[in-house]
């Protein structure tokens, strides 16, 4: 689960998603999609950390004194216990990955059923890894998934409108 949570582990998936966008939208459409994904990640990651986590300030399970010894903690590559940052509401991994998955889904509709299943299984496994690592409660992951999905949907809609307007010009 330690490696599943690592962004670098999923580089082949990102390359595949970019390739599929390139095939459907061409280079200009891909560039526009990358810009929209950057905006999406700003919303789902930076804003969430600086406005939600720093406001709610709920300790992660790994930092909760009442749960000491009851939370599964794994060791990182250097042998240190991985605990994540101090606060955990909500899961940025879940918001980022669900946001990207929903955005991609919006741009690639219609998709074959098995591809949709694989896409969302991918983000579910990553989200579950955060609970397994003891750095999020299930509610953190659910809230992050809802937040990310909403903004993935919203920016997907905006991308499609903007792309269609550019095509009409």
- Work out how many domains the chain is built from and give that number: 1
Give which of 98, 68, 97, 96 is closest to 83, Cα–Cα: 68
Question: Do the domain assignments include residue 90?
Answer: yes
User: 7 or 68: which carries more pLDDT confidence?
Assistant: 7
Task: Report the chain's mean pLDDT, rounded to a whole number.
Answer: 89
Task: Examine residue 105 and state whether it is found in any structural domain, yes or no.
Answer: yes
**Which of 35-49, 84-98, 141-155 shows the lowest mean pLDDT across its residues?**
84-98
Mean pLDDT (whole number) for 35-43: 96
pLDDT tens for 68-127 read 777 778 887 788 888 887 878 889 999 999 999 999 999 998 888 999 999 999 999 999
Count the Cβ atoms, other than its own, within 10 Å of residue 64. 15
* Residue 30 within any structural domain of the chain: yes
Q: Between residues 90 and 153, which one has the greater pLDDT?
A: 153
State the residue range of the domain holding 20.
Answer: 7-168
149 domain-assigned: yes
In a domain, 2, yes or no: no
This prediction has a pTM of: 0.89
**pLDDT at residue 169 tops 50:** no
Residue 16 lies in a domain: yes
Residue 12: inside a domain = yes
pLDDT given for residue 166 in this prediction: 64
Q: Dihedrals φ, ψ of 87, to 5°?
A: -105, 150
In a domain, residue 1? The reply is no
Q: Which two tokens stand for residue 94?
A: 């879940």
pLDDT of residue 167: 55
How far apart CA 39 and CA 7 sit, in angstroms, is: 18
**DSSP structure class, residue 52:** I
């Amino acid at each position: 689960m330690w490696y599943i949570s690592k962004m670098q582990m999923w580089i082949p998936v990102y390359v595949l998603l970019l390739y599929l966008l390139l095939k459907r939208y061409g280079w200009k459409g891909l560039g526009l999609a990358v810009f929209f994904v950057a905006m999406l990640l700003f919303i789902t990651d930076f804003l969430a950390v600086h406005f939600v986590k720093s406001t709610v300030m709920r300790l992660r399970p790994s930092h909760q004194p009442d749960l000491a010894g009851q939370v599964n903690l794994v060791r990182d590559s250097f042998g240190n216990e991985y605990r994540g940052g101090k606060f955990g509401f909500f899961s940025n991994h879940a918001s980022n990955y669900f946001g990207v998955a929903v955005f991609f889904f919006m741009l690639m509709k219609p998709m074959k059923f098995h591809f949709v299943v694989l896409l969302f299984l991918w983000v579910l496994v990553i989200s579950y890894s955060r609970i397994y690592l003891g750095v999020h409660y299930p509610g953190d992951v659910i809230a992050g998934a809802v937040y990310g999905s909403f903004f993935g949907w919203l920016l997907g809609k905006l991308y499609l409108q903007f792309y269609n307007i550019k095509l009409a010009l």
